[in-house]
Amino acid sequence: ELAQLDVLFETDSTNAEALRHPAPARGSRAWLAERQTAGRGRRGRDWATPLAAQVALSLSRRFDGGIAALQGLSLAVGVAAAEALHGLGCTEVGLKWPNDLLARGRKLGGILVELRGDAAGPLQVVVGLGVNVSLPASADAEISQPWCDLASLMPAPPSRQAVCVALLDALLPLMARYERDGLAPWLDGWRRFDLLAGHPVRLLEGAHVIDGVALGVDADGALRLRTETGERLCHAGEASLRAA
């Protein structure tokens, strides 16, 4: 399943690196970086990856399931990553729709799914995951919201190697299963880790603000929101969610 693994000392972004290469004919190709100089989040946001502080991982794969089926992939990846971190003893980790790993209300990691291809050819999907293992306090200057790392959550945090192995073990089988079965196998897991279900939230979509109560996700991974005017479904594309 793992076609090739490249460990880089420094790169702009492991997702960008993965997208510069074609997806392997079979299985996944993976990249790890000790440091990213231009790590990225959604919509051009920056993702800070100080040297040797994080597991910054990207997996690249052919995807034959069609673009429409990909909406839930970052949720499935979140569930698998949260389970892997639980397995390492980090029991406080939870998920914030659509793509954040949180603990104690602070961001522990993030997921970025990117695609390349056209309607005619096969799609390449790149799944990027950054998990903070032990960040220097100076990372504050680079990160615009409360963050945390495994070192601050656990008395005896696992090594980056252990985190990396656990994440690869969880994510390598996920891609093939997702292609076959979609989000369904991860929906129970999502419910277990969903930090905002039942809570008042504010959804930001560009200049648009929607207040409501988060009700979990539908079968495709869209957020169900109860608002004054009834229940509505929100798609991850442009949206950011905040506890209200």
Binding letters toward ligand ATP, positions 45-84, x by CB under 6 A: xxxx------------------------------------
The Cα 190–Cα 54 span in angstroms is 24
Quickly tell me which residue has 């905040």 as its tokens: 242
C-alpha dist (Å) from residue 236 to 24, 30, 82, 173, 205: 28, 25, 19, 24, 9
- Which is closer to ligand ATP, CB of 180 or CB of 235? 235
**Structure-block tokens of residue 137:** 């306090």
User: Cα(226)–Cα(234) distance, rounded to whole angstroms?
Assistant: 11
Nearest to 103 by CA among 157, 56, 50: 157
User: Per CB under 6 A, does 240 bind ligand ATP?
Assistant: yes
Q: Considering only residues 31, 63, 147, 190, which one is a binding residue for ligand ATP as defined by CB under 6 A?
A: 147
What residues act catalytically? 42, 107, 242
Under the binding rule (CB under 6 A), the answer on residue 42 touching ligand ATP is: yes
Nearer to ligand ATP (CB atom), residue 98 or residue 158? 98
Exposed / middle / buried, residue 127 (Cβ in 10 Å: 0-12, 13-18, 19+)? buried
Q: Does residue 185 belong to the site contacting ligand ATP (CB under 6 A)?
A: no
Interacting residues with ligand ATP between 116 and 135 (CB under 6 A): 130, 132
Stretch that binds ligand ATP, among 39-47, 60-68, 114-122, 158-166 (CB under 6 A): 39-47
Separation CA 69–CA 67 (nearest Å): 5
CA 163, 164, 169, 170 torsion-angle sign: positive
Q: Annotated binding site for biotin: which residue ranges?
A: 13-15, 36, 40-42, 107
Question: Which positions touch ligand ATP (CB under 6 A)?
Answer: 41-43, 45-48, 99-100, 107, 110, 130, 132, 143-145, 147, 240-241
